[in-house]
């Protein structure tokens, strides 16, 4: 349905003389991606409100999205599956934040292990988005910069006795760590199948 809506949007732009037919695919894709992004943001905020954890939900996404954008990892096979998976992941993480007290030592362990995995594996490409060597180096550097910033923020939060917020950052990094491992395993299984 959203695909058809995106195509109609591009068709209207052509009729209005704003774009040419050659640009149809680009605008269709852009519109589709924009609507999916807005849908994900709205759903995430609704979940934050439902769990009465709006601020922690925002912090979780601020920790997860920048590292995810640069490090890559497992991606669902369709935008709809991606939306469903993202919604489930956010709901599970908010459930953990709401009902599980994560001791500081566990947060530090989660952060340490997740950071090591991210540092070693990232970036992990996907079948639909292969990376050349230049892109690999750029994303690796960006991932490590974001990772260092998040580790620094985590440390500052612990110094100021904000261990719950630090734990949220650790959960965001753990989620990306798991996405990287899943993507890495999937890529290696695909390589074995091609041989």
Q: For position 44, what pLDDT does the model report?
A: 95
Where is the domain boundary, 50, 67, 90?
Answer: 50
Number of Cβ atoms within 10 Å of the Cβ of 82? 14
Do residue 146 and residue 122 come from a single domain? yes
Do residue 22 and residue 71 come from a single domain? no
Cα separation of 110 and 114, whole Å?
6
* pTM (two decimals): 0.87
**Length in residues, the chain:** 195
Cα separation of 114 and 142, whole Å?
17
Which SS3 state, helix, strand or coil, does residue 72 take? Answer: strand
Do residue 99 and residue 137 come from a single domain? yes
Tens-place pLDDT, residues 47-66: 999 999 999 999 999 999 99
Q: Is 156 exposed, middle or buried (0-12, 13-18, 19+ CB in 10 A)?
A: exposed
Q: How confident is the model at residue 192 (pLDDT cuts 50, 70, 90)?
A: low
Do residue 42 and residue 61 come from a single domain? no
Weakest-pLDDT range from 4-13, 49-58, 84-93, 106-115 = 4-13
* Domain carrying residue 13: 1-50
How many structural domains compose the chain?
2
Do residue 118 and residue 150 come from a single domain? yes
Where is the domain boundary, 11, 28, 50?
Answer: 50
Tens-place pLDDT, residues 130-152: 889 999 999 999 999 999 999 99
């Amino acid at each position: 349905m959203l695909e058809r809506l995106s195509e109609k949007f591009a068709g209207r732009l052509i009729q209005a003389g704003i774009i040419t037919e050659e640009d149809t695919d680009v605008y269709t894709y852009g519109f589709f991606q924009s609507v999916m992004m807005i849908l994900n943001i709205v759903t995430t905020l609704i979940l934050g409100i439902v769990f009465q954890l709006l601020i922690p939900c925002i912090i979780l996404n601020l920790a997860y999205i920048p590292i995810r954008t640069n490090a890559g990892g497992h991606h669902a096979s369709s935008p709809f599956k991606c939306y469903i998976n993202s919604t489930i992941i956010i709901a599970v993480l908010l459930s953990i934040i709401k009902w599980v007290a994560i001791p500081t030592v566990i947060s530090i362990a989660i952060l340490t292990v997740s950071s090591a995995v991210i540092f070693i594996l990232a970036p992990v490409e996907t079948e639909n988005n292969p990376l050349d060597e230049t892109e690999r180096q750029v994303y690796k550097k960006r991932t490590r910069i974001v990772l260092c910033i998040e580790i620094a923020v985590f440390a500052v939060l612990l110094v100021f006795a904000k261990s719950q917020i630090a734990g949220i950052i650790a959960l965001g990094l753990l989620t990306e760590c798991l996405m990287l491992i899943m993507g890495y395993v999937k890529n290696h299984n695909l390589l074995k199948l091609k041989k």
